[in-house]
Structure 1
Amino acid sequence: MTELKYKRNFCITAHIDHGKSTLADRLIQKAKIIEDRQMMNQILDNMDIERERGITIKSQAVTIPYHAKDGHDYELNFVDTPGHVDFSYEVSRAIASCEGALLLIDATQGVESQTVSNMYMAMEHDLTIVPVINKIDLASADVESVKHQIDHDLGLDSADAQLVSAKTGQGIDELLEAIVNKFPPPSGDVNAPLQALIFDCHYDEYRGVVVHIRVMQGRIKAGDTIRLMSTETDYRAEKVGVFKIRYEETQILEAGDVGYVIAGIKTVSDVRVGDTITTVNNPAKEALPGFKDVKPVVFSSIYPIDSNDYEELKDSMEKLKLNDASLVYEKDNSLALGNGFRCGFLGLLHLEIIQERLERDFDQVVIFTAPSVKYKVVQQGHEEIFVDNPADYPEGKIQSSEEPYITATIITPTEYIGPIMELCRIKRGTQKNMQYLDEKRVELSYDMPLAEVLFDFYDKLKSYSRGYASFDYEVTDYRPTDLVKIDILINGKPVDALAQLCFRASSAERAKQVCERLKGEISRQQFKIAIQGSVGSQIIARETVNPVRKDVLAKCYGGDVTRKRKLLEKQKAGKKRMLMAGNVELPQSAFLAVLKEKEDN
């Protein structure tokens, strides 16, 4: 095994699209742990969905060997992390298993909001930070300006900044030397009782649960009987090893190592991210401090299209939860859609990714209800309750309601300030601060309701700023709001899965949008279908799906008008009888149409 002083554990962190995965590709290529013919772009993004969208969703760990200029062989363990704000929990877990962080900054974009928040996250864990300026090969690269931003905005020393081009491989050798020289080796006693932090896991059909660990103290060998400290369950470690794109068995992992353990764990609920693994023979006295509990901010219910698939969906959710520790869910039930789950997500992109992963990885075709946030509601004469599901909204007189607020930080080029300030005003934002970072960029700080950010805010921000504005937020507190529940009625019958909680002033517009979209999705019947949006007993929006009609007058060539009227009246009475007995089948696309935002609204 490599000595402790020749190991380095670090992560690559940055704002979205600054080139983390490409830099990881170059480091892997340099180490020659994979043949050139098997090499492909974004090799660590192993999900189809990551490749299609060009984003990293899962943090991926890799161990690479490096022969340094001082003549020693080093073992570099690094983690490529996501950049999107919805996956910041992935980043925090990766940071907890490292001693250093490469903070990547795009030479054309400069310091953006997620760059700043990732840097603070790394500082909280006392990581050594090395700034890296990427994309220096591009014609639009402005290295001097970015160096000024590193000094001015981040408070780091720009003299330490490494200049690289992850695409061409320029500066990678110098970067590897900097990793060896600037990052400290891991600490830990190889002979102490085993303490290994579980920072990730995933489910493998043939191996069971594969646990990703960072060994803090002691050593773990294949054949050891290990204990998961939070659930007090014991397993035999069948295989241990490191990640070199594929699994590479090493038979032993020591303090400072990052690797995996396969112990034939089939009970998915036994394994928790943030738990500590120790040995049964020589157990550690206490568990390591895990990760702080993740707080979901967006809630939505999820149902199988066929109610017979509920058990399959339950298994799929357990396996997905193992792979994505930030997913929170509990059982739920709907009159319209049957049994399902109420889920909490870190943001709308997170919700979208979970939906796609359920469909692709587990072949589950599911329906999601409209997303909501968690409100505080006080009924007259009752205590305060939290409501995130419209079905739980109390009937009767509401004394007061409060909604979560966020502090939104937007960094944008100065020419787009006008439309962005107008967008924030429409979304009920209150400006807190406006600071010019330099002559080209300005930082806007707003207090705004989280519910307003859920629907199309991010898309509009990107289109108004031509993709240059960056957005980051943190949930701060609850503030009073005027909350109402919108019920959607189809032929007078409420569809509980389409109900939404909404700010009163926006309710008519929201109900109108839902009714319009449903009208486009519901197929015409033999009778007229009324689609209505209501708040309490008041109808605030209506659309009508006209019936399919047979031309009963086709056989009347001429003759008396009363003959025609009689036939039409007869048809009308038949339609009325049908309406009383008729049920409207809502297709799955109708639920999805309500969830998706229209491009032009």
Structure 2
Amino acid sequence: MNNIRNFCIIAHIDHGKSTLADRLLEYTKTLEGKALTEQTLDNMDLERERGITIKSHAIQMNYEKNGQKYTLNLIDTPGHVDFSYEVSRSIAACEGALLIVDATQGIQAQTISNLYQAINHDLHIIPILNKMDLPNAMPEEVEDQIIELVGCDRSEIIHASGKTGLGVYDILDAIIERVPAPKGDGNAPLQCLIFDSVFNSFRGIIAYFKVVNGSISKGDLVKFVATGKEYYADEVGVLRLDLQPCEKLGAGNVGYIISGIKTSKEVKVGDTITHVKNPCSKAIEGFEEVKPMVFAGVYPIDAEDYEDLRASIEKLQLNDASLTFQPESSAALGFGFRCGFLGLLHMEIIQERLDREFDMNVITTVPNVPYKAYTKKDELVEVHMPSMLPEATLLDHVEEPYIRAQVITKTEYIGSIMTLCLGKRGELIKQNYLMGDRVEIEYDMPLAEIVFDFYDKLKSISRGYASFDYYPIGYRTSKLAKLDILLNSEPVDALSTLTHVDNAQTFGRKMCEKLQELIPRQQFDIAIQAAIGAKIVARETIKALRKDVTAKCYGGDISRKRKLLEKQKKGKKKMKQIGNVEVPQKAFLAVLKLD
């Protein structure tokens, strides 16, 4: 165990951690020649296209120093705020972390947030200044920021470049010298922490784990503590670029287990694996359940695809434990699922993956956050969709989730960022000048306000310089109204939203205008109305298309034309009674981008 090192990489999005991970794999000769590509560990097409890490990846490297052979287990982590759950799971399986900071940009919000998680888990931090080969690098300034944040010596900060390979050997030496070996008892009863799982269509579910105590061998009868299920370990092994089977895994090591598990509910990330014959006394603690921040309905375009969609979401959930779902039905869209996501980017990625990996075309409804509604009888109703809100006559008050938002930006953008936050009902908590021209602003804001477009607006206001991170701080009472959209006096439940009373009227008006542009014209008038309860707050009309029924009349008496027009009028009246309005998928998505 003294020669094992488990470490993860912490960084803000786009600070070059995937490139640096490539260099570590190259310099330890884990990958050579053709196997080494750009961003080797980002193996999803989506990750390559967008240049972001979505899924954390684990890989084992061997390295020799002073004649001693060491085993290094690297767990690469995402940098975007929406995938922070992946980061928390990786941190739980490590003893050390590489803190990578871009020498041209300095410390950003997500770096700080992930760093605090690592410190809470008692991980040893190795600070690294990346992208030192760039002409606009500012090593002294960024070193000062790191020292202020971590409290380390200047000599501990390693200068590196993922592109040129500068400082990679220093990093490998630092991992061996500074990161402590895993603590654990090889002779104690088996305890393994599951930190990830993937679905393989041939072999079932593969669980990735870290052996905390004891050892696991091929063929052992093991038990998953949380689900109480028992399996034979058909194959155990270590995670190289491909899975590499071995006979036995000892304490402190990271590996995988294949035991022919077919259903997703039987593997829970954060669960403990132990032996059936000699079980451990208690499960490993300190692993929290994921809390979705945004809820949206996901419906198949074709009602017959409902079961296929269920199977696809279940398989996706194995690769992405932060996705939650439950069945629901809607009058407009039929049967579908209410899915919980960590944020809008997460929702977008899931939708894209359903399309690419499972060929599922889906309609997504307007996303909303979970509210708590209290009735006059003091009953609590959890509201995940607007239709679940109790009647106004029974309702006492509604509470909405609040977050503490942390924005780090250049001083020149403070004014416009504050205006944006105040427009989103934010309350300024503190303003802290870090150094030079960088400032940290903290706001308490309703989660519902940042769900839609806050991140995009923040980036455009600050020309991409501001970084943003948030964490939930509980619920607060708020004045909320349910805004219904009616098409020809029929409510469309998929378009209704819960919004603050002050914003309801303007939001309703914008929504009606947008739908007027997007809904195609029919042979009859379509009235689009926004209503709060029985009160109509906005209205737009889509005028009817008119077929020229008098085209065949040339000359002759006017009464002939009048007769045809009267006949058409009667037909239109009848059509309006039985007319159904088709709402295109674009209309559901347009609501997100009203500004």
Instruction: Give the distance between the partners of 1:260 and 1:416, measured in 2 at CA.
Output: 48
Q: Report which stretch shifted further, 248-257 or 548-557.
A: 548-557
Report the equivalent of 2:169: 173
- The match for 2:570 among 558, 568, 573 is 573
Tell me the SS of whatever aligns to 1:402: strand
2:82 & 2:153 partners in 1: Cα distance? 29
**Rounded Cα–Cα distance in structure 2 between residues aligned with 1:376 and 1:281:** 45
Change (3 A) 1:562 1:536: farther
Q: In structure 2, what is the Cα distance between the partners aligned to 1:84 and 1:332?
A: 30
1:152 to 2:145 alignment? no
| Equivalences for residues 235-314 of structure 1 within 5 A | 235-289=231-285, 291-314=287-310
Uncovered stretches (5+) of structure 2, i.e. residues with no partner: none
* Paired AA for residue 181 in structure 1: E
Secondary structure in structure 2 of the residue aligned to 1:554: helix
Separation in 1, partners of 2:95, 2:397: 47
In the TM superposition, residue 564 of structure 1 has moved relative to its aligned partner by 4.9
Aligned partners of 1:232, 1:429: CA distance in 2, in Å? Answer: 45
Cα distance in 2 for residues equivalent to 1:538 and 1:159 = 67
Instruction: State how far apart, in whole Å, the 2-side matches of 1:516 and 1:277 are.
Output: 56
Aligned counterpart in structure 2 of residue 90 of structure 1, from 82, 86, 91? 86
1:513 is matched by which residue type in structure 2?
Answer: K
* Partner secondary structure for residue 313 of structure 1: helix
Structure-2 residue corresponding to 1:408: 405
Q: Is the 8 A contact 1:227 1:279 kept in 2?
A: yes
Contact 1:131 1:158 in 2 (8 A): no
- 1:192 is displaced (CA, Å) by 1.7
Amino acid at match of 1:296: P
Do structure 1's residue 489 and structure 2's residue 460 form an aligned pair? no
- The answer to whether the 8 A contact 1:305-1:588 is kept is no
**Is 2:496 the partner of 1:513?**
no
Distance 1:482 1:556, change over 3 A: same
Check whether the contact 1:8–1:180 (CA below 8 A) recurs between aligned residues.
Answer: yes
Post-superposition CA distance 1:47-73 (Å, at most 9, x none): 1111111111111000001112x2211
Look up the match of 1:198: 194
Identical residues among aligned pairs (%) = 55
Q: Does 1:50 align with 2:47?
A: yes
Output the amino acid matched with 1:280: V
Q: Which residue of 2 aligns with 1:101?
A: 97
- State the Cα distance separating 1:565 from its structure 2 match: 5.0
2:234 is aligned with 1:231: no
Q: Which amino acid aligns with 1:14?
A: A
Letter in 2 for 1:450: L
Q: CA offset at residue 439 of structure 1? A: 2.2
Paired with 1:526 and 1:135, the residues of 2 have a C-alpha distance of 62
Aligned partner (choices 202, 207, 211) of residue 203 of structure 2:
207
Q: Which residue of 2 aligns with 1:529?
A: 526
Cα offset, 1:563, TM superposition = 5.9
2:46 is aligned with 1:10: no
The code of the aligned residue for 1:401 comes to: V
Counterparts of 1:512 and 1:572, CA distance in 2: 30
2:420 to 412, 418, 423: 423
Q: Shift in Å at residue 585 of structure 1?
A: 2.6
What is the TM-score normalised by the length of structure 1? 0.96
Cα deviations by residue, 1:500-559 (Å, 9 ceiling, x for unpaired) = 111112112222333333333322221122222111112222222222211234345567
Provide Cα deviations, 1:131-189, integer angstroms capped at 9, x if missing partner.
11101111110000011001223433332111100111111011111111111111112
Distance in 1 (alpha carbons) for counterparts of 2:230 and 2:396: 51
State the match for 1:326 in structure 2.
322
Partner SS for 1:5: coil
Identify if the C-alpha distance between structure 1 residues 369 and 413 changes in structure 2 by more than 3 Å, giving closer, same or farther. same
Q: Deviations over 1:361-412 (max 9, x none)?
A: 2222111111111222233344232212111011232332221111111000
Aligned Cα root-mean-square deviation (Å): 1.7
What is the rounded CA distance, in whole Å, between the counterparts of 2:413 and 2:47 in structure 1?
30
1:498 to 465, 472, 495: 495
Shift of 1:316: 1.6
Matching residue of 2:376? 380
Deviation, structure 1 residue 562: 6.5
2:407 equivalent to 1:445: no
Within-5 A mapping of 1:9-28: 9-28=6-25
Normalized against structure 2, the TM-score is what? 0.97
Matches of 2:33 and 2:79, distance apart in 1: 27
Alignment length, in residue pairs?
594
Equivalent residues of 1:153, 1:437 under 8 A apart: no
Structure 1 residues 441 and 188 mapped into 2: Cα distance closer, same or farther (>3 Å)? same
- d(CA) in 1 for partners of 2:478, 2:488: 31
Preserved CA contact (<8 Å) 1:150 1:157:
no
Question: How far apart, CA to CA, are the structure 2 residues paired with 1:532 and 1:154?
Answer: 55
| Residue of structure 1 in register with 2:115 after alignment | 119
C-alpha displacement at 1:590, in angstroms?
3.0
In the TM superposition, residue 359 of structure 1 has moved relative to its aligned partner by: 1.5
Q: What is the DSSP-based 3-state SS (H/G/I as helix, E as strand, rest coil) of the residue aligned with 1:16?
A: coil
